[in-house]
Chain A
Amino acid sequence: MRGLGAFLLGMVLVLLLRSTALSPLAARGIVVDVLAFATVFWALRYGAVSGASFGFMIGLAADLDATHWMGRHALVLSILGYAIGRLARTFERESGRTQLVLIGLAVAVHQAWVVPFELGGLEGLGSGWPYLLGRVFIGALATAPLGALLLTAARRVTGRSVFGHALVNPG
């Protein structure tokens, strides 16, 4: 029950952040990809099943918030959540560098998948690839250091490990 509460609270917080504080930045082209960051965090902390479920649910909510192409966020975020969750045990999860790389990669994959939909598919990608590259690059550059910094700050403030004693399901 507590897990479900945290799951829902996390989702609400991320969606609120995305639609309020981060939306003016996004409209200026600086996409802080809080969806990818939250999915990485969830997958590292709770494992593959929770990571995939969180990615799917938050992606679905983001899809509903958009006007077209339902399922695009849900698809990539659930796969990312699952993949990172599966690999979580092989990483040094508390390392800032690991977090930086993982968040950066997740943002890059997420943006590289969703932006072509905004550009109108493969047809729009022909002339829109510089925009796509810009979004991937700026997104990763804006989100990864911010995310890693946030996790480091959380560790320092609480004095506890963010992932070290977390429950990771075998799946």
Chain B
Amino acid sequence: MGGFLPPAERRSSALVALYVATSLLLLAAGERLPQAMLRGVGAAIFAPLDHVIMTVDRVMGSWRENRELHGRVAVLELENSRMRTLAAEDRALREQLGLPGYQGLTLRPAEVLALAGESAASATLSAGAQQGVHPGDAVVTSDGLVGRIGEVYPSLSRVVLLTDQNAGVACEVESTGVLGVLRFAPTPFPRLLLTLVPFADTVSVGQRILTSGLSRRYPRGIPVGRVVRLGTAEGGLTQEIEVASAARLTRLRHVFIVPGPADLGVAP
């Protein structure tokens, strides 16, 4: 076949065949390559450029955001004073019952440099090992849980967002304590589902979903989302609870890293 083609066309055909073969090889065996290292190099190269573009975008949005934040601070100040009173009451009651006290979260701010993938399954952060970030640390915004740190590079890190199919979060329904595991389901359309909830447990649309603390990776009580739809899971044994995420995963600008227990590994 090659003999019928002019030399230049034979060369170009051979080149494309090489590209196709390499791609197929990567598809078959790519998971075995040290992808984390390659991604780290890529992230380091793109970080300064991402910074520039994101700065322009953020300057444009900061004026409006500042006005909104002023209003929100005022509301939160009022709520905070009420919460202080309740916290004092809670401390006193827990002491009387002999229960351990609540441990506050340490928040380390970081900037989101880039979102990756068409369905935004991961994001690159401006903080890495030099800033004390570890694989497995929880990542939150003021609205709620975003995901966990998947890979850490010297000055950058990569978050596995809730919209990654491999990210599972142990959750509970606020006030009722119904337990379940939050997972991302890509089919029949992309959404977050609270799975493994039996029909015996009552869940209503509008209820808040929080981290349960049963997975040591995520501290208890972080808002995850709100129930938007109820149904029956495939197989008919458990409920299918659709959850709208509390954090706006499509508009991530700044996040906070919550250091996790030191003895946790990378696996979910």
**A interface residues, Cβ below 8 angstroms from B:** 12, 15-16, 19-21, 23-24, 26-29, 31, 48-49, 52-53, 55-56, 59-61, 63-72, 74-75, 78-79, 82, 114, 118-120, 124, 126-128, 130-131, 135, 169-171
Q: Which residues of A contact B166 (CB under 8 A)?
A: 67
Contact residue among A15, A16, A31 (Cβ-Cβ distance under 8 Å from B118): A31
The reply to whether B46 and A19 form a contact with Cβ atoms under 8 Å apart is yes
**B107 interface residue (CB < 8 Å to A):** no
CA of A69 to CA of B28, assembled, Å: 8
The reply to whether B122 and A23 form a contact with Cβ atoms under 8 Å apart is no
Given contacts A27-B119, A120-B165, A128-B187, contact A12 B49 (CB under 8 A): yes
Chain A binding surface SS class: helix
The reply to whether B26 and A74 form a contact with Cβ atoms under 8 Å apart is yes
Q: Which residues of A contact B39 (CB under 8 A)?
A: 64-65
Number of B residues near A (Cβ < 8 Å) is 51
Q: Which residues of B contact A170 (CB under 8 A)?
A: 6, 8-9
Q: Which residues of A contact B31 (CB under 8 A)?
A: 68, 70
In whole Å, how far is B101's beta carbon from the nearest beta carbon of chain A? 39
The reply to whether B118 and A63 form a contact with Cβ atoms under 8 Å apart is no
In whole Å, how far is B124's beta carbon from the nearest beta carbon of chain A? 8
**B35 interface residue (CB < 8 Å to A):** yes
The number of A-B residue pairs with CB atoms under 8 Å apart is 150
In whole Å, how far is A105's beta carbon from the nearest beta carbon of chain B? 18
**B69 interface residue (CB < 8 Å to A):** no
Which of A21, A23, A31 lies at the interface centre, i.e. has the most chain B CB atoms within 10 A of its CB? A23
In whole Å, how far is A125's beta carbon from the nearest beta carbon of chain B? 8
**B interface residues, Cβ below 8 angstroms from A:** 6, 8-9, 11-12, 15-16, 19-20, 22-27, 30-31, 33, 35, 38-39, 42, 46, 49-50, 53-54, 57, 114-122, 124, 160, 163-166, 186-190, 249-251
Q: Which residues of B contact A114 (CB under 8 A)?
A: 118
In whole Å, how far is A84's beta carbon from the nearest beta carbon of chain B? 12
CA of A55 to CA of B23, assembled, Å: 11
CA of A120 to CA of B183, assembled, Å: 14
CA of A28 to CA of B250, assembled, Å: 7
Contact residue among A23, A53, A70, A135 (Cβ-Cβ distance under 8 Å from B114): A23
Q: Which residues of A contact B33 (CB under 8 A)?
A: 70
The reply to whether B23 and A59 form a contact with Cβ atoms under 8 Å apart is yes
The reply to whether B116 and A19 form a contact with Cβ atoms under 8 Å apart is yes
CA of A127 to CA of B240, assembled, Å: 16
Residue on B nearest A12 in the bound complex, by CB: B49
CA of A82 to CA of B35, assembled, Å: 27
The reply to whether A15 and B188 form a contact with Cβ atoms under 8 Å apart is no
CA of A104 to CA of B24, assembled, Å: 25
Given contacts A20-B54, A24-B251, contact A74 B22 (CB under 8 A): yes
The reply to whether A169 and B118 form a contact with Cβ atoms under 8 Å apart is no
In whole Å, how far is A69's beta carbon from the nearest beta carbon of chain B? 6
The reply to whether A74 and B188 form a contact with Cβ atoms under 8 Å apart is no
The reply to whether A67 and B122 form a contact with Cβ atoms under 8 Å apart is yes
